[in-house]
Amino acid sequence: MTFRVAVTGDFEKLALQAAPWNELGKDAEVVAFHEPFASEQATVAALQDFDAITLIQERIPLTHEILEKLPRLKLIVFTGRKNETLDAAAALARNITVCKCSPDFEVPPEAPGGKSPVELTFALLLSCTWQTGPNTSLIRQGGWVTQCGVALRGKTLGIVGYGSLGRPVGRIGLAFGMNVLAFGRSLTDEAAAADNVTRADLDTLLGQSDVISIHLPLNSATRGLIGAQQIGLMKPGVILINTARAAIVEEQPLIDALQSRKIAMAGLDVYWREPLPSDHPLTRLPNVVMTPHIGYATEEAMVVRYRELLRTLVAYREGNVVGRYVPEPI
């Protein structure tokens, strides 16, 4: 019987060229899916005849209801350390093996640039301050200058989550001539001073920053960390950048603050539902710059991810389980 593998979330159409899938054997068939599934029913219809499913980050949800309708499924492999849109407990209850593969994209601590979400953070920020998208459209329509840009030099950048992503964001902020405040649960005054930044508690950072950039993992402590009360502490006209996880910020308070211009601009790569529905309020707000959760999706990184997925699949076919995932107790 053919061992069928569904490679989902291949939105860039790289998967089949990125890895030597023939290593799975002559009795294996690999099918790549290049679009999000429109509904739960569409997901089931597409995936019901596969033995294994691979997930790129959290692009394709596999809920309890979906898994119940995939009787042939034996193996799920996802990239990343955990997956918020996969009901791993439900999969394990059905004796489906769940594995994770987390390729090492670490860079030396002294390296100035950091990982790709760091670059996207500043792409979003500069799009906010210089309105590059609207200005491109304006020129194409025969227009010219309509508003001033916003200089970063001398402004205060607040980094919520001063770790492997937040730290290089701080270095780049310093290079722009910004003052940098950093919030991190394990950050000390001495460590901050060594980086030429200032440690601050969250409330102080929110109240003093002109730009706030979020770089925290999503967990029970950070979910909903920034809600209406915290937004109320922010300066009028602040810019908010989120390339981490949407659920760290409460959705409706953010929308309200953008509509009132309490938050002047937001640059977002992450959303509470992905893909973002076309009728979502964010899509109608002119003061929001959006990218479709691409912070981790450089071509080089995606090739590594697909090859790691393949390595895990090959091991499984050889009788070995690599990277077995056990969900943390709730």
Examine the pLDDT at 232 and tell me if it is beyond 80. yes
Predicted local distance difference test score (pLDDT) of residue 330: 53
Looking at the annotation, which residues are catalytic?
A: 245, 274, 293
For helices 166-175 and 116-130, the axis angle rounded to 10 degrees is 40
| SS3 at position 275 | coil
pLDDT digits (tens, 9 = 90+) for 90-128: 999 999 999 999 876 666 666 667 789 999 999 999 999
If one counts every other C-beta atom within 10 angstroms of the C-beta of residue 93, the result is 12
Please give the backbone phi and psi of residue 159, each rounded to the nearest 5 degrees, phi first.
-105, 115
Examine the pLDDT at 328 and tell me if it is beyond 80. no
pLDDT digits (tens, 9 = 90+) for 172-208: 999 999 999 999 999 999 999 999 999 999 999 999 9
- Beta-sheet pairing, 198-199 with 179-183: parallel
| SS3 at position 3 | strand
Q: Enumerate domains of the chain plus CATH numbers.
A: 3-105+298-317 (3.40.50.720), 116-290 (3.40.50.720)
Predicted local distance difference test score (pLDDT) of residue 115: 83
Predicted local distance difference test score (pLDDT) of residue 104: 66
- What distances in angstroms separate CA 16 from CA 53, 76, 91, 112, 307, one per listed residue? 14, 18, 26, 33, 10
Cβ(183)–Cβ(202) under 8 Å?
A: yes
- What distances in angstroms separate CA 101 from CA 50, 308, 323, one per listed residue? 20, 6, 6
Average pLDDT over residues 241-248: 97
If one counts every other C-beta atom within 10 angstroms of the C-beta of residue 47, the result is 23
| pTM of full prediction above 0.75 | yes
- Partner residues linked to 182 by β-bridges: 159, 199
- Secondary structure (H, E, C), 38-86: CCHHHHHHHHCCCCEEEECCCCCCECHHHHCCCCCCCEEEEECCCCCCE
